[in-house]
């Protein structure tokens, strides 16, 4: 899981450490500056105060002079030529002489003017030991605490991450739940994580059992449904072979035969949709126009006495490599919809080299109905008695199964155009 919970926690702790480091570095700079300019200034003022107190007690008291601090006293009425040149023009107060590397405090009183010079090098060293070093220790302490917190958080989420990896490897058609069996769980998985693992193991087992029941049902249902259809087809064939049967009975038998073939095509289509995607159905090359003509002949019976003409236009003789019954179901559903919702005018089927278009002059659909046309059980005109709202949903699923595309264009009270595009794969012409 490249974007899993452990990675997010790791990123969060890294960001936390980076932000803490930046904040402490800024604090280092501020503390060092304050130390140099506030602490050193206060120290020089205290040194000057202490010196004047000693000078008052003993005027012969020399100015301070040590490793870090040098003092100069210019008594009142005397020249300051004895001072270093860079100190002579300084006014009373604090001065930062960066070029000379000195911090200077000039304190003028009645006995004279005191110059206290503190070396910047010493100030930097003092700031390092008394300000920067403690801040560095605090930073390392924050790093250590963050690392320990990260390790503890990682230990807490590792069971959940392990569960997520196991579930992500499941095949939806054959979920492998054995890895989540209680005896195979990691030893560090406790509490809610172990409870979640048991729940996922139970859920996976139920899903696997449900999938097996569905596979068994589709297999058994196909067998059981084909048996009576075979009897109907054989019986209608035998009845049609009888001599001198009335024309009306012959037409009824022919309708029974067509309905039987339609039912077999529907069963085949449902079985294809129910099978796993990696199992290829039995395909063959067939003539698209022949399928369209057969479905058009069957659909004409739906028109009855309505003033509607059903036309078929075949431009060329395209061939398709797929199960023929699938195209029967797709074209049959589109034609039934067109005939059912067209009260006058024309229903036309146009076959091109890579597509089949079914257009009508029926009631059409409003934009909101068109957007929901492929939803199961949705009907644009529920007041009409025909249909269950599953036809277009089945058409869409079958087309997606074989890599075809289906498009709908419709306008209210104008008509509908449905177009199936086969693309270049599996389609050809002779």
CATH number of domain containing 325: 3.30.565.10
- Comparing 4-13, 35-44, 359-368, the range with the smallest average pLDDT is 4-13
Model confidence at 96: pLDDT above 80 = yes
CA contacts within 13 A on the Cβ side of 107:
20
In a domain, 110, yes or no: yes
Q: What is the pLDDT of residue 33?
A: 66
Q: List all residues 6 or more positions away from 261 whose beta carbon is below 8 Å from its beta carbon.
A: 233, 328
Q: What is the pLDDT of residue 236?
A: 85
The last residue of one of the domains, among 122, 145, 168, is 145
In a domain, 161, yes or no: no
Q: Residue written as tokens 């800024």? A: 26
Q: What is the mean pLDDT of residues 155-160?
A: 74
Q: What is the pLDDT of residue 1?
A: 43
User: Which band of pLDDT confidence, cut at 50, 70 and 90, is reported for residue 421?
Assistant: very high
Give the separation between CA 264 and CA 276, rounded to whole angstroms. 20
- Comparing 153-157, 242-246, 390-394, 397-401, the range with the smallest average pLDDT is 153-157
Beta bridge partners of 409: 417
Per-residue pLDDT tens for 344-354?
999 999 999 88
Model confidence at 107: pLDDT above 90 = yes
- What does pTM read for this prediction? 0.51
Number of Cβ within 10 Å of residue 267's Cβ equals: 18
Nearest 10 degrees: Cα torsion 401, 406, 412, 414: -130
In a domain, 172, yes or no: no
Q: What is the mean pLDDT of residues 42-46?
A: 87
| 296 vs 131, more confident | 296
Q: List all residues 6 or more positions away from 399 whose beta carbon is below 8 Å from its beta carbon.
A: 330, 405, 406, 420
Q: What is the mean pLDDT of residues 143-168?
A: 76
Of 351, 349, 338, 328, the C-alpha closest to 398 is: 328
User: Which band of pLDDT confidence, cut at 50, 70 and 90, is reported for residue 361?
Assistant: very high
In a domain, 98, yes or no: yes
Contact between 298 and 312 under an 8 Å Cβ cutoff? The reply is: no
320: its two tokens: 């398709």
Domain that holds residue 39: 5-145
Contact between 106 and 48 under an 8 Å Cβ cutoff? The reply is: no
The last residue of one of the domains, among 116, 145, 174, is 145
Q: List all residues 6 or more positions away from 24 whose beta carbon is below 8 Å from its beta carbon.
A: 135, 138, 139, 142
Average pLDDT along the chain: 81
In a domain, 213, yes or no: no
Task: Give the Å distances, CA to CA, from 249 to 236, 239, 241, 242, 260.
Answer: 11, 9, 12, 11, 16
Contact between 294 and 351 under an 8 Å Cβ cutoff? The reply is: no
Q: What is the mean pLDDT of residues 156-183?
A: 74
The last residue of one of the domains, among 145, 168, 199, is 145
In a domain, 101, yes or no: yes
In a domain, 79, yes or no: yes
In a domain, 216, yes or no: no
Model confidence at 72: pLDDT above 80 = yes
Q: What is the pLDDT of residue 132?
A: 63
Which one of 145-149, 152-156, 206-210, 314-318 scores highest in mean pLDDT? 314-318
Contact between 116 and 104 under an 8 Å Cβ cutoff? The reply is: yes
User: Which band of pLDDT confidence, cut at 50, 70 and 90, is reported for residue 224?
Assistant: confident
Q: What is the pLDDT of residue 35?
A: 63
Q: Residue written as tokens 């998985």? A: 189
Number of structural domains (the chain) is 2
């Amino acid at each position: 899981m490249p974007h899993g919970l452990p990675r997010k926690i790791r990123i969060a702790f890294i960001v936390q450490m980076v932000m803490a480091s930046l904040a402490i570095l800024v604090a280092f700079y501020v503390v060092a500056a304050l130390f140099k300019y506030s602490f050193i200034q206060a120290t020089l003022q205290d040194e000057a105060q202490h010196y004047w107190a000693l000078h008052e007690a003993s005027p012969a008291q020399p100015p301070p002079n040590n490793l870090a601090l040098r003092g100069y006293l210019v008594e009142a009425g005397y020249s300051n030529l004895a001072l270093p040149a860079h100190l002579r023009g300084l006014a009373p107060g604090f001065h930062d002489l960066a070029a000379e590397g000195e911090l200077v405090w000039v304190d003028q009183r009645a006995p004279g003017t005191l110059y206290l010079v503190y070396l910047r090098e010493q100030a930097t060293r003092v700031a390092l030991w008394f300000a920067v070093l403690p801040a560095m220790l605090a930073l390392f302490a924050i790093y250590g605490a963050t690392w320990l917190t990260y390790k503890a958080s990682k230990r807490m989420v590792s069971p959940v991450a392990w569960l997520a990896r196991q579930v992500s490897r499941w095949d939806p058609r054959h979920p492998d739940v054995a890895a989540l069996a209680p005896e195979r769980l990691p030893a560090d998985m406790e509490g809610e994580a172990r409870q979640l693992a048991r729940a996922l193991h139970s859920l996976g087992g139920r899903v696997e059992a449900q999938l097996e029941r569905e596979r068994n049902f589709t297999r058994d249902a196909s067998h059981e449904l084909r048996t009576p259809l075979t009897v109907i087809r054989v019986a209608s064939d035998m009845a049609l072979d009888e001599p001198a049967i009335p024309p009306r009975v012959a037409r009824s038998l022919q309708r029974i035969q067509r309905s039987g073939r339609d039912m077999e095509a529907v069963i085949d289509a449902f079985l294809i949709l129910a099978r796993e995607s990696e199992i290829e159905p039995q395909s063959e090359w067939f003539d698209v126009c022949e399928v369209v003509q057969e479905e058009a002949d069957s659909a004409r019976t739906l028109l009855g006495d309505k003033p509607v003409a059903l036309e078929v236009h075949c431009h060329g003789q395209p061939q398709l490599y797929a199960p023929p019954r699938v195209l029967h179901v797709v074209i049959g559903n589109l034609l039934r919809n067109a005939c059912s919702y067209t009260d006058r005018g024309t229903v036309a089927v146009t076959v091109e080299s890579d597509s089949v278009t079914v257009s009508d002059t029926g009631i059409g659909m409003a934009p909101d109905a068109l957007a929901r046309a492929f939803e199961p059980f949705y009907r644009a005109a529920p007041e009409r008695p025909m249909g269950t709202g599953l036809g277009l949903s089945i058409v869409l699923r079958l087309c997606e199964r074989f890599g075809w595309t289906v498009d709908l264009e419709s306008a209210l009270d104008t008509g509908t155009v449905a177009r199936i595009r086969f693309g270049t794969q599996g389609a050809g012409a002779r």
